[in-house]
Structure 1
Amino acid sequence: MTFRKVSHVLFDMDGLILNTEDLYMVGFQDVASRYGKVFTFELKTKIMGQQSKEFAGTIINELDLPLTVEEFLAETRAIFEKSFPDCKILPGVEKLIRHLHENNIGIGLATSSSKESYELKAVHHQELFDLFPYKTWGSSDPDVKRGKPFPDIFFVAANKFPEKPSPDQCLVFEDSVNGVKAARAAGMQVVMVPDPRLDRSLTTEATLVLDSVEDFKPELFGLPPYK
Protein backbone atom coordinates (compact mmCIF):
# COMPACT_ATOMS: atom_id res chain seq x y z
CA MET A 1 0.00 0.00 0.00
CA THR A 2 1.33 3.43 -0.91
CA PHE A 3 0.51 6.71 0.78
CA ARG A 4 0.91 10.34 -0.27
CA LYS A 5 3.83 12.29 1.15
CA VAL A 6 2.69 14.92 3.66
CA SER A 7 4.22 18.03 5.18
CA HIS A 8 1.84 18.79 8.08
CA VAL A 9 0.18 16.65 10.77
CA LEU A 10 -3.05 17.33 12.70
CA PHE A 11 -3.88 15.52 15.92
CA ASP A 12 -7.19 14.81 17.56
CA MET A 13 -6.87 14.83 21.37
CA ASP A 14 -9.49 12.75 23.21
CA GLY A 15 -8.79 9.05 22.87
CA LEU A 16 -5.78 9.74 20.64
CA ILE A 17 -3.35 11.81 22.70
CA LEU A 18 -5.09 11.39 26.06
CA ASN A 19 -7.15 8.58 27.61
CA THR A 20 -10.07 10.94 28.26
CA GLU A 21 -12.57 8.84 26.28
CA ASP A 22 -12.61 6.42 29.21
CA LEU A 23 -13.31 9.34 31.56
CA TYR A 24 -16.15 10.55 29.33
CA MET A 25 -17.67 7.07 29.45
CA VAL A 26 -17.65 7.06 33.27
CA GLY A 27 -18.97 10.63 33.54
CA PHE A 28 -21.82 10.15 31.07
CA GLN A 29 -22.82 6.90 32.77
CA ASP A 30 -22.84 8.68 36.12
CA VAL A 31 -25.48 11.10 34.84
CA ALA A 32 -27.42 8.42 32.95
CA SER A 33 -27.56 6.20 36.06
CA ARG A 34 -29.46 8.88 37.98
CA TYR A 35 -32.32 8.35 35.55
CA GLY A 36 -32.06 4.56 35.27
CA LYS A 37 -30.40 4.66 31.87
CA VAL A 38 -27.31 3.00 30.41
CA PHE A 39 -24.71 4.89 28.38
CA THR A 40 -23.52 2.25 25.92
CA PHE A 41 -20.31 1.98 23.91
CA GLU A 42 -22.44 2.15 20.75
CA LEU A 43 -23.80 5.54 21.83
CA LYS A 44 -20.28 6.66 22.71
CA THR A 45 -19.15 5.73 19.20
CA LYS A 46 -21.96 7.84 17.74
CA ILE A 47 -21.05 11.02 19.67
CA MET A 48 -17.24 10.88 19.50
CA GLY A 49 -15.93 13.94 17.69
CA GLN A 50 -19.11 15.98 18.07
CA GLN A 51 -19.05 19.43 19.65
CA SER A 52 -20.28 19.78 23.25
CA LYS A 53 -23.83 20.91 22.49
CA GLU A 54 -24.14 18.34 19.72
CA PHE A 55 -23.17 15.35 21.85
CA ALA A 56 -25.28 16.57 24.78
CA GLY A 57 -28.33 16.73 22.53
CA THR A 58 -27.63 13.29 21.09
CA ILE A 59 -27.28 11.69 24.53
CA ILE A 60 -30.43 13.38 25.85
CA ASN A 61 -32.45 12.22 22.85
CA GLU A 62 -31.06 8.68 22.74
CA LEU A 63 -31.53 8.08 26.48
CA ASP A 64 -34.67 10.19 26.83
CA LEU A 65 -33.20 12.18 29.72
CA PRO A 66 -35.35 14.88 31.39
CA LEU A 67 -32.62 17.49 30.96
CA THR A 68 -31.90 20.46 28.74
CA VAL A 69 -28.58 20.60 26.90
CA GLU A 70 -27.39 23.27 29.33
CA GLU A 71 -28.39 21.18 32.36
CA PHE A 72 -26.65 18.09 31.01
CA LEU A 73 -23.46 20.00 30.27
CA ALA A 74 -23.51 21.58 33.74
CA GLU A 75 -23.91 18.19 35.43
CA THR A 76 -21.12 16.56 33.42
CA ARG A 77 -18.85 19.58 33.76
CA ALA A 78 -18.92 19.19 37.54
CA ILE A 79 -17.84 15.57 37.14
CA PHE A 80 -15.11 16.26 34.58
CA GLU A 81 -13.59 19.11 36.56
CA LYS A 82 -12.55 16.42 39.04
CA SER A 83 -11.56 13.64 36.64
CA PHE A 84 -9.94 15.33 33.62
CA PRO A 85 -6.80 16.56 35.42
CA ASP A 86 -5.94 12.90 36.11
CA CYS A 87 -5.88 11.90 32.44
CA LYS A 88 -2.82 10.14 30.99
CA ILE A 89 -0.92 10.36 27.68
CA LEU A 90 -1.47 7.30 25.50
CA PRO A 91 1.45 5.08 24.34
CA GLY A 92 3.65 6.31 21.50
CA VAL A 93 2.08 9.75 21.29
CA GLU A 94 4.69 11.82 23.09
CA LYS A 95 7.50 10.18 21.11
CA LEU A 96 5.79 11.02 17.80
CA ILE A 97 4.90 14.61 18.68
CA ARG A 98 8.42 15.36 19.92
CA HIS A 99 9.92 13.69 16.84
CA LEU A 100 7.84 15.81 14.45
CA HIS A 101 8.57 18.97 16.43
CA GLU A 102 12.33 18.30 16.46
CA ASN A 103 12.26 17.75 12.69
CA ASN A 104 10.38 21.00 12.02
CA ILE A 105 7.24 19.29 10.73
CA GLY A 106 4.16 21.50 11.10
CA ILE A 107 1.87 20.06 13.79
CA GLY A 108 -1.51 21.25 14.99
CA LEU A 109 -4.16 20.22 17.49
CA ALA A 110 -7.68 19.73 16.13
CA THR A 111 -9.97 18.76 19.00
CA SER A 112 -13.73 19.06 19.29
CA SER A 113 -13.27 19.93 22.97
CA SER A 114 -13.83 23.43 24.29
CA LYS A 115 -10.86 25.51 25.39
CA GLU A 116 -12.02 25.20 29.02
CA SER A 117 -12.19 21.41 28.77
CA TYR A 118 -8.78 21.30 27.09
CA GLU A 119 -7.23 23.29 29.92
CA LEU A 120 -8.49 20.77 32.48
CA LYS A 121 -7.06 17.87 30.48
CA ALA A 122 -3.72 19.52 29.67
CA VAL A 123 -2.98 20.87 33.14
CA HIS A 124 -0.36 18.17 33.90
CA HIS A 125 0.84 17.82 30.29
CA GLN A 126 1.55 21.44 29.43
CA GLU A 127 5.10 20.82 28.23
CA LEU A 128 3.84 18.42 25.57
CA PHE A 129 0.95 20.59 24.42
CA ASP A 130 3.23 23.62 24.26
CA LEU A 131 4.89 21.88 21.29
CA PHE A 132 1.74 22.60 19.27
CA PRO A 133 2.05 26.14 17.89
CA TYR A 134 -1.50 25.98 16.53
CA LYS A 135 -4.51 24.68 18.41
CA THR A 136 -8.15 24.51 17.33
CA TRP A 137 -10.87 23.87 19.92
CA GLY A 138 -13.98 22.94 17.96
CA SER A 139 -16.51 23.72 20.68
CA SER A 140 -14.99 27.19 21.28
CA ASP A 141 -13.85 28.33 17.83
CA PRO A 142 -16.57 30.32 16.00
CA ASP A 143 -14.97 29.39 12.67
CA VAL A 144 -15.77 25.71 13.29
CA LYS A 145 -19.45 25.80 12.38
CA ARG A 146 -20.12 22.06 12.57
CA GLY A 147 -18.55 19.24 14.54
CA LYS A 148 -17.14 16.01 13.15
CA PRO A 149 -18.08 14.13 10.88
CA PHE A 150 -18.15 17.45 9.00
CA PRO A 151 -14.71 18.60 7.81
CA ASP A 152 -14.88 22.14 9.23
CA ILE A 153 -12.36 21.69 12.05
CA PHE A 154 -9.65 20.31 9.78
CA PHE A 155 -10.01 23.12 7.26
CA VAL A 156 -9.79 25.68 10.10
CA ALA A 157 -6.81 23.89 11.73
CA ALA A 158 -4.85 23.57 8.47
CA ASN A 159 -5.47 27.22 7.62
CA LYS A 160 -3.65 28.27 10.81
CA PHE A 161 -0.31 27.09 9.43
CA PRO A 162 1.58 30.00 7.79
CA GLU A 163 2.31 27.78 4.79
CA LYS A 164 -1.43 27.16 4.20
CA PRO A 165 -0.92 23.50 3.19
CA SER A 166 -3.43 21.93 0.83
CA PRO A 167 -5.54 19.06 2.22
CA ASP A 168 -3.45 16.46 0.41
CA GLN A 169 -0.37 17.71 2.29
CA CYS A 170 -2.00 17.05 5.67
CA LEU A 171 -2.11 13.83 7.69
CA VAL A 172 -4.66 13.46 10.49
CA PHE A 173 -4.47 11.21 13.55
CA GLU A 174 -7.88 10.15 14.85
CA ASP A 175 -9.50 7.50 17.01
CA SER A 176 -13.18 8.02 16.19
CA VAL A 177 -15.37 7.08 13.23
CA ASN A 178 -16.69 10.65 13.06
CA GLY A 179 -13.14 12.00 13.10
CA VAL A 180 -12.10 9.76 10.22
CA LYS A 181 -15.14 10.80 8.20
CA ALA A 182 -14.32 14.47 8.87
CA ALA A 183 -10.71 14.07 7.76
CA ARG A 184 -11.67 12.22 4.60
CA ALA A 185 -14.34 14.81 3.83
CA ALA A 186 -11.58 17.42 4.10
CA GLY A 187 -9.53 15.51 1.52
CA MET A 188 -6.87 14.48 4.03
CA GLN A 189 -5.23 11.12 4.73
CA VAL A 190 -6.00 9.80 8.20
CA VAL A 191 -4.34 7.32 10.53
CA MET A 192 -6.94 5.77 12.79
CA VAL A 193 -6.10 4.31 16.20
CA PRO A 194 -9.51 3.00 17.28
CA ASP A 195 -10.74 1.78 20.62
CA PRO A 196 -10.15 -2.02 20.76
CA ARG A 197 -13.89 -2.47 21.32
CA LEU A 198 -14.82 -0.79 18.04
CA ASP A 199 -16.20 -3.02 15.29
CA ARG A 200 -13.40 -3.07 12.71
CA SER A 201 -15.95 -2.89 9.88
CA LEU A 202 -16.38 0.77 10.91
CA THR A 203 -12.71 1.60 10.22
CA THR A 204 -12.65 1.06 6.46
CA GLU A 205 -12.59 4.76 5.52
CA ALA A 206 -9.25 5.32 7.30
CA THR A 207 -6.09 5.49 5.22
CA LEU A 208 -4.26 3.36 7.78
CA VAL A 209 -5.53 1.61 10.93
CA LEU A 210 -3.16 0.92 13.83
CA ASP A 211 -3.58 -0.70 17.24
CA SER A 212 -1.36 1.98 18.80
CA VAL A 213 0.49 5.16 17.83
CA GLU A 214 3.58 3.16 18.86
CA ASP A 215 3.18 1.20 15.62
CA PHE A 216 3.32 4.27 13.35
CA LYS A 217 6.18 4.52 10.85
CA PRO A 218 6.59 8.20 9.82
CA GLU A 219 8.48 7.32 6.63
CA LEU A 220 5.32 5.73 5.16
CA PHE A 221 4.02 9.26 4.61
CA GLY A 222 7.36 10.82 3.63
CA LEU A 223 8.06 12.10 7.13
CA PRO A 224 11.51 11.78 8.78
CA PRO A 225 11.95 8.26 10.19
CA TYR A 226 12.69 7.61 13.82
CA LYS A 227 16.41 7.29 14.50
Structure 2
Amino acid sequence: MALKPVTHVLFDMDGLILNTEDLYTVAFQNILSQYGKTYTFDLKLKLMGLQAHETAESIVKELQLPLTPDEFQEESKKQFLKLFPDTKVLPGVRRLIEHLHKHKVPIGLATSASEESYNLKVNKHHKELFSLFPYKTFGSSDPEVKRGKPYPDIFLVAASRFPEHPNPDKCLVLEDAVNGVKAARDAGMQVVMVPDPRVDESLTKNATLVLKSLEDFKPELFGLPPFEN
Protein backbone atom coordinates (compact mmCIF):
# COMPACT_ATOMS: atom_id res chain seq x y z
CA MET A 1 0.00 0.00 0.00
CA ALA A 2 1.16 3.54 -0.71
CA LEU A 3 2.10 5.40 2.48
CA LYS A 4 0.71 8.92 2.88
CA PRO A 5 1.84 11.74 5.18
CA VAL A 6 -0.02 12.11 8.47
CA THR A 7 -0.18 14.80 11.16
CA HIS A 8 -1.62 12.90 14.15
CA VAL A 9 -0.89 9.49 15.71
CA LEU A 10 -3.21 7.25 17.75
CA PHE A 11 -1.82 4.42 19.88
CA ASP A 12 -3.61 1.28 21.00
CA MET A 13 -2.37 0.16 24.45
CA ASP A 14 -2.83 -3.55 25.21
CA GLY A 15 -0.30 -5.63 23.27
CA LEU A 16 1.07 -2.52 21.52
CA ILE A 17 2.46 -0.33 24.32
CA LEU A 18 2.21 -2.78 27.22
CA ASN A 19 2.58 -6.56 27.48
CA THR A 20 -0.96 -6.81 28.85
CA GLU A 21 -2.28 -9.15 26.15
CA ASP A 22 -0.10 -11.84 27.74
CA LEU A 23 -1.56 -10.96 31.14
CA TYR A 24 -5.14 -11.15 29.86
CA THR A 25 -4.39 -14.68 28.66
CA VAL A 26 -3.09 -15.66 32.11
CA ALA A 27 -6.06 -14.04 33.87
CA PHE A 28 -8.70 -15.67 31.70
CA GLN A 29 -7.02 -19.08 31.79
CA ASN A 30 -6.86 -18.90 35.59
CA ILE A 31 -10.67 -18.53 35.60
CA LEU A 32 -11.37 -21.07 32.87
CA SER A 33 -9.19 -23.76 34.45
CA GLN A 34 -11.73 -23.96 37.27
CA TYR A 35 -14.26 -25.17 34.68
CA GLY A 36 -11.95 -27.43 32.67
CA LYS A 37 -11.85 -24.99 29.74
CA THR A 38 -8.97 -23.58 27.67
CA TYR A 39 -8.47 -20.01 26.46
CA THR A 40 -7.16 -20.79 22.98
CA PHE A 41 -5.29 -18.35 20.77
CA ASP A 42 -8.04 -18.64 18.14
CA LEU A 43 -10.60 -17.44 20.68
CA LYS A 44 -8.26 -14.70 21.86
CA LEU A 45 -7.88 -13.46 18.27
CA LYS A 46 -11.63 -12.95 17.98
CA LEU A 47 -11.77 -11.01 21.24
CA MET A 48 -8.74 -8.70 21.03
CA GLY A 49 -9.97 -5.11 20.91
CA LEU A 50 -13.49 -5.78 22.16
CA GLN A 51 -14.91 -3.84 25.07
CA ALA A 52 -14.83 -5.60 28.47
CA HIS A 53 -18.53 -6.51 28.54
CA GLU A 54 -18.35 -7.80 24.94
CA THR A 55 -15.37 -10.00 25.86
CA ALA A 56 -17.17 -11.44 28.88
CA GLU A 57 -20.32 -12.17 26.88
CA SER A 58 -18.33 -13.89 24.13
CA ILE A 59 -16.27 -16.09 26.46
CA VAL A 60 -19.28 -17.19 28.51
CA LYS A 61 -21.26 -18.02 25.36
CA GLU A 62 -18.44 -19.62 23.37
CA LEU A 63 -17.26 -21.86 26.22
CA GLN A 64 -20.72 -22.40 27.74
CA LEU A 65 -19.59 -21.36 31.22
CA PRO A 66 -21.94 -21.69 34.20
CA LEU A 67 -21.48 -17.95 34.83
CA THR A 68 -23.22 -14.79 33.74
CA PRO A 69 -21.10 -12.24 31.82
CA ASP A 70 -21.24 -9.97 34.90
CA GLU A 71 -19.91 -12.78 37.10
CA PHE A 72 -17.12 -13.45 34.61
CA GLN A 73 -16.18 -9.75 34.69
CA GLU A 74 -16.09 -9.80 38.50
CA GLU A 75 -13.79 -12.84 38.47
CA SER A 76 -11.64 -11.12 35.84
CA LYS A 77 -11.26 -8.02 37.98
CA LYS A 78 -9.88 -10.11 40.84
CA GLN A 79 -7.25 -11.54 38.48
CA PHE A 80 -6.41 -8.12 37.05
CA LEU A 81 -5.80 -6.70 40.53
CA LYS A 82 -3.01 -9.28 40.96
CA LEU A 83 -1.52 -9.15 37.45
CA PHE A 84 -1.85 -5.66 35.99
CA PRO A 85 0.25 -3.53 38.38
CA ASP A 86 3.47 -5.07 37.01
CA THR A 87 3.04 -4.46 33.28
CA LYS A 88 6.06 -3.93 31.04
CA VAL A 89 6.55 -1.51 28.13
CA LEU A 90 7.20 -3.32 24.85
CA PRO A 91 10.33 -2.73 22.71
CA GLY A 92 10.61 0.52 20.73
CA VAL A 93 7.54 2.09 22.33
CA ARG A 94 9.10 4.50 24.81
CA ARG A 95 11.51 5.87 22.21
CA LEU A 96 8.70 6.52 19.72
CA ILE A 97 6.30 8.17 22.18
CA GLU A 98 9.05 10.42 23.58
CA HIS A 99 10.24 11.27 20.04
CA LEU A 100 6.78 12.30 18.81
CA HIS A 101 6.17 14.30 21.99
CA LYS A 102 9.52 16.08 21.64
CA HIS A 103 8.68 17.05 18.05
CA LYS A 104 5.19 18.23 19.04
CA VAL A 105 3.39 15.64 16.91
CA PRO A 106 -0.13 15.35 18.42
CA ILE A 107 -0.59 11.87 19.92
CA GLY A 108 -3.55 10.18 21.56
CA LEU A 109 -4.34 6.91 23.30
CA ALA A 110 -7.24 4.83 21.95
CA THR A 111 -7.67 1.76 24.14
CA SER A 112 -10.61 -0.62 24.49
CA ALA A 113 -9.79 -0.88 28.19
CA SER A 114 -11.79 0.94 30.86
CA GLU A 115 -10.29 3.85 32.78
CA GLU A 116 -10.21 1.65 35.89
CA SER A 117 -8.22 -1.03 34.04
CA TYR A 118 -5.91 1.61 32.55
CA ASN A 119 -5.08 2.94 36.03
CA LEU A 120 -4.25 -0.56 37.26
CA LYS A 121 -1.82 -1.08 34.37
CA VAL A 122 -0.17 2.33 34.40
CA ASN A 123 -0.12 3.92 37.84
CA LYS A 124 2.58 1.80 39.51
CA HIS A 125 5.35 2.06 36.88
CA HIS A 126 4.33 4.05 33.80
CA LYS A 127 2.57 7.28 34.82
CA GLU A 128 5.37 9.45 33.47
CA LEU A 129 5.31 7.82 30.02
CA PHE A 130 1.52 7.95 29.70
CA SER A 131 1.45 11.58 30.86
CA LEU A 132 2.85 12.37 27.38
CA PHE A 133 -0.61 11.52 25.94
CA PRO A 134 -2.75 14.63 26.36
CA TYR A 135 -5.80 12.84 24.93
CA LYS A 136 -6.94 9.41 26.14
CA THR A 137 -10.04 7.47 25.05
CA PHE A 138 -11.13 4.44 27.11
CA GLY A 139 -13.45 2.30 25.02
CA SER A 140 -14.99 0.27 27.85
CA SER A 141 -15.93 3.30 29.97
CA ASP A 142 -16.37 6.18 27.49
CA PRO A 143 -20.07 6.84 26.77
CA GLU A 144 -19.19 8.22 23.31
CA VAL A 145 -17.67 4.89 22.22
CA LYS A 146 -20.82 2.93 21.47
CA ARG A 147 -19.21 -0.19 19.96
CA GLY A 148 -15.86 -1.89 20.46
CA LYS A 149 -13.37 -2.80 17.75
CA PRO A 150 -13.69 -4.00 14.93
CA TYR A 151 -16.12 -1.06 14.64
CA PRO A 152 -14.42 2.28 13.98
CA ASP A 153 -16.07 4.17 16.87
CA ILE A 154 -13.07 4.40 19.19
CA PHE A 155 -10.72 5.87 16.58
CA LEU A 156 -13.26 8.39 15.34
CA VAL A 157 -13.96 9.51 18.92
CA ALA A 158 -10.22 9.62 19.74
CA ALA A 159 -9.48 11.74 16.65
CA SER A 160 -12.30 14.15 17.55
CA ARG A 161 -10.55 14.87 20.87
CA PHE A 162 -7.62 16.56 19.11
CA PRO A 163 -8.28 20.34 19.07
CA GLU A 164 -7.37 20.46 15.36
CA HIS A 165 -10.10 17.88 14.49
CA PRO A 166 -7.91 16.23 11.83
CA ASN A 167 -9.49 14.37 8.94
CA PRO A 168 -9.22 10.60 9.40
CA ASP A 169 -6.77 10.32 6.49
CA LYS A 170 -4.35 12.51 8.46
CA CYS A 171 -4.34 10.08 11.41
CA LEU A 172 -2.03 7.08 11.75
CA VAL A 173 -3.07 4.25 14.08
CA LEU A 174 -0.60 1.88 15.74
CA GLU A 175 -2.21 -1.49 16.54
CA ASP A 176 -1.45 -5.12 17.32
CA ALA A 177 -4.89 -6.70 16.88
CA VAL A 178 -6.76 -7.82 13.77
CA ASN A 179 -9.95 -6.22 15.13
CA GLY A 180 -8.08 -2.98 15.75
CA VAL A 181 -6.71 -2.89 12.21
CA LYS A 182 -10.21 -3.31 10.78
CA ALA A 183 -11.53 -0.58 13.08
CA ALA A 184 -8.80 1.83 11.96
CA ARG A 185 -9.28 1.11 8.27
CA ASP A 186 -13.05 1.50 8.57
CA ALA A 187 -12.42 4.85 10.27
CA GLY A 188 -10.53 5.91 7.13
CA MET A 189 -7.10 5.86 8.76
CA GLN A 190 -3.76 4.27 7.89
CA VAL A 191 -2.62 1.65 10.37
CA VAL A 192 0.74 0.14 11.29
CA MET A 193 0.27 -3.35 12.71
CA VAL A 194 2.66 -5.05 15.13
CA PRO A 195 0.96 -8.45 15.41
CA ASP A 196 1.53 -11.32 17.79
CA PRO A 197 3.92 -13.64 15.86
CA ARG A 198 1.26 -16.38 16.03
CA VAL A 199 -1.17 -14.35 13.88
CA ASP A 200 -1.49 -15.85 10.41
CA GLU A 201 -0.05 -13.57 7.74
CA SER A 202 -3.34 -13.65 5.81
CA LEU A 203 -4.99 -11.79 8.71
CA THR A 204 -2.57 -8.86 8.47
CA LYS A 205 -3.32 -7.85 4.87
CA ASN A 206 -5.62 -4.94 5.78
CA ALA A 207 -2.79 -3.14 7.55
CA THR A 208 -1.01 -0.31 5.76
CA LEU A 209 2.31 -1.60 7.09
CA VAL A 210 3.21 -4.68 9.18
CA LEU A 211 6.21 -4.67 11.54
CA LYS A 212 7.69 -7.25 13.90
CA SER A 213 8.36 -4.55 16.50
CA LEU A 214 7.97 -0.81 16.94
CA GLU A 215 11.77 -0.77 17.08
CA ASP A 216 11.54 -1.08 13.27
CA PHE A 217 9.16 1.90 12.81
CA LYS A 218 10.46 4.74 10.63
CA PRO A 219 8.40 7.90 11.28
CA GLU A 220 9.60 9.55 8.06
CA LEU A 221 7.69 6.98 5.98
CA PHE A 222 4.53 8.82 7.07
CA GLY A 223 5.94 12.34 6.82
CA LEU A 224 6.79 12.52 10.52
CA PRO A 225 10.14 13.77 11.91
CA PRO A 226 12.80 11.03 11.61
CA PHE A 227 14.66 9.67 14.62
CA GLU A 228 17.98 11.38 15.29
CA ASN A 229 20.93 9.02 14.94
The 5-angstrom pairing of residues 208-223 of structure 1 reads 208-223=209-224
Q: Which residue of 2 aligns with 1:170?
A: 171
Q: Which residue of structure 1 aligns with residue 76 of structure 2?
A: 76
SS, match of residue 10 in structure 2: strand
Listed as ranges, the matches of 1:57-76 within 5 Å are 57-76=57-76
**Which digits, 9 at most, give the CA deviation of each residue in 1:32-85, with x for residues without a partner?**
111011110010010000000001111111111111111000001001111001
**1:226 correspondence with 2:208:** no
Give the Å deviation of 1:15.
Answer: 0.1
Q: Report the Cα distance in structure 2 between the residues aligned to 1:135 and 1:73, rounded to whole angstroms.
A: 23
SS in 2 for 1:196: coil
Q: Structure 2: 5+ residue runs without aligned partners?
A: none
Q: Secondary structure at the match of 2:110?
A: strand
- Work out whether 1:180 is the aligned partner of 2:213: no
> Residue 224 of structure 2 aligns to which amino acid in structure 1?
L
How many residues were matched structurally?
227
Tell me which amino acid in the other structure corresponds to 1:15: G
Q: If the length of structure 1 is used for normalisation, what is the TM-score?
A: 0.99
Q: Distance in 2 between matches of 1:40 and 1:101?
A: 38
SS at match of 1:34: helix
2:90 matched residue in structure 1: 90
Uncovered stretches (5+) of structure 1, i.e. residues with no partner = none
Structure 2 SS opposite 1:65: coil
Counterpart of 1:103, as a letter, is H
1:59 counterpart SS class: helix
Secondary structure of the residue aligned to 1:98 is helix
* Displacement after TM superposition at 1:2 (Å): 3.1
Q: Distance in 2 between matches of 1:33 and 1:62?
A: 15
User: Partner amino acid for 2:63?
Assistant: L
Could you say what secondary structure the match of 1:142 adopts? coil
Structure 1's consecutive aligned runs of 4 or more residues displaced over 6 angstroms after TM superposition are none
Residue in 1 that maps onto 2:204: 203
Letter of the structure 1 residue corresponding to residue 154 of structure 2: I
* Matching residue of 1:16: 16
1: CA distance between counterparts of 2:69 and 2:104?
Answer: 42
Give the Cα–Cα distance (whole angstroms) in 2 for the partners of residues 211 and 140 of structure 1.
30
| Partner SS state of residue 158, structure 2 | helix
Using the alignment, how far apart are the partners of 1:43 and 1:207 within structure 2?
A: 25
How far does residue 200 in structure 1 lie from its aligned partner after superposition?
1.1
Taking the aligned partners of 1:198 and 1:32, their CA distance within structure 2 comes to 23
**1:52 and 2:49 correspond:** no
1:135 aligns with 2:148: no
Q: CA deviation at 1:92?
A: 0.1
